Amino acid sequence: MRKLLLAVAAAALIAAPGIASAQAPIVLKFSHVVAPNTPKGKGAEHFKVLAEKYTNGKVKVEVYHNSTLYKDKEELEALQLGAVQMLAPSNSKFGPIGIKDFEVFDLPFLLPNLASLRKVTEGPIGKKMLTLLDSKGMVGLAYWDNGFKQMSANKPLHVPADYKGLKFRIQSSKVLEAQFRLLGATPQVMAFSEVYQALQTGVVDGQENTPSNMYTQKMDEVQKFTTLTNHGYIGYVVVVNKKFWEGLPADIRGQLTKAMDESTAFANKTSAQENDEALADMKKNGKTTFIVPTPAEMAAMQKAMEPLYNDMASRVGKQLIDDVRKTAQGVTN
């Protein structure tokens, strides 16, 4: 009884106003795999600043970049176990935990521009997709952009025949796997943190990524050619551990939501510029030779990849593909 009374008294003390500030802050670990000077890296830092400000220091956000805590597959498991509280994996990385729908964004030539993407993610389709995460012990808070992907290898890539027989590193998405198979190449799933070395040592011949990811991982220094295909998109779903999120006091959850909303606006406003700057820096570096495909070459690539829409319908859902296509159509920047 005495023990119980002491415990109640201690709890009352902790709950007393004025003493709360002396309490240890709630630690929110935000782990990601890219460099700090990327759209996601900057978004995470922005969130840290705002979250700590709006909660008056009651929440401390620790950002771990460049896979310092976990690599791609591990980070999702760590989130589910509660070892970290927040992540922003790319859309292409949810398949292995049983959510295939986000792979719709891997379909090449699906989104003509970021405005069309936004219409999808910010509309009913995007909102509904976020709810799928609930059953996996996480809550989807937002979509963050990176940008459009380019192809790179040690040989010039112009038309589908150039890809034949080459090995390409891919993210863990069945759509991306099928994409490279259609081009006659061999796809190999690999964690982002291992790509530079795999390219350097010739474990793989090529890869696809955004200029920002390529530049900050120095991929341009180990790839002789980069073709500006803009064929596909990389973006992120910001997710938080569900138990952690729902266990937060309502006022703190509200403050973090405000910080996230503002960080999303910031990340999505600056992503295109980040990628433009990375592209300019790689051009200045002069390590990789840039190829601008002709309209005929682009048409050949698009034609070679078109069967994906049918082939992947059973995986990501025909209705979803049709809905995204319809929503994205006709939206101009």
For binding to ligand LMR (CB under 6 A), which residues are involved? 33-34, 40, 90, 146, 171, 192, 209, 213, 234
Rounded to the nearest whole angstrom, what is the least distance from the CB of residue 152 to ligand LMR in the complex?
12
Q: Nearest approach, Cβ of 90 to ligand LMR (angstroms)?
A: 3
Nearer to ligand LMR, 171 or 255 (CB): 171
The answer to whether the Cα torsion of 237, 243, 246, 249 is positive or negative is negative
Largest CA distance in the chain: 83
**The residue type at 119:** K
- CB within 8 Å of 81: residues ≥ 6 apart: none
From the CB of 173, what's the least distance to ligand LMR, in Å? 9
Residues 6+ apart with CB under 8 A from 311: 178
- 201 vs 314 by CB, closer to ligand LMR: 201
Nearer to ligand LMR, 147 or 160 (CB): 147
Please report how close the Cβ of residue 180 comes to ligand LMR at its closest, in angstroms. 14
Nearest to 105 by CA among 143, 138, 158: 143
Decide whether 58 or 93 has the Cβ nearer to ligand LMR: 93
Minimal CA–CA distance to 209: which of 47, 33, 3? 33
Q: Count of CB atoms within 10 A of residue 79's CB?
A: 26
Provide the token pair at 267. Answer: 């990340």
The nearer residue to ligand LMR, 178 or 248, going by C-beta atoms, is 178
| Nearest approach, Cβ of residue 34 and ligand LMR (Å) | 5
Q: State the nearest-atom distance from the C-beta of 58 to ligand LMR, in Å.
A: 29
Please give the Cα distance from 163 to 299 (Å, whole number).
Answer: 15
Place of tokens 């070459």: 297
Amino acid in position 288 = T
User: Which residue lies nearer to ligand LMR by CB, 29 or 40?
Assistant: 40
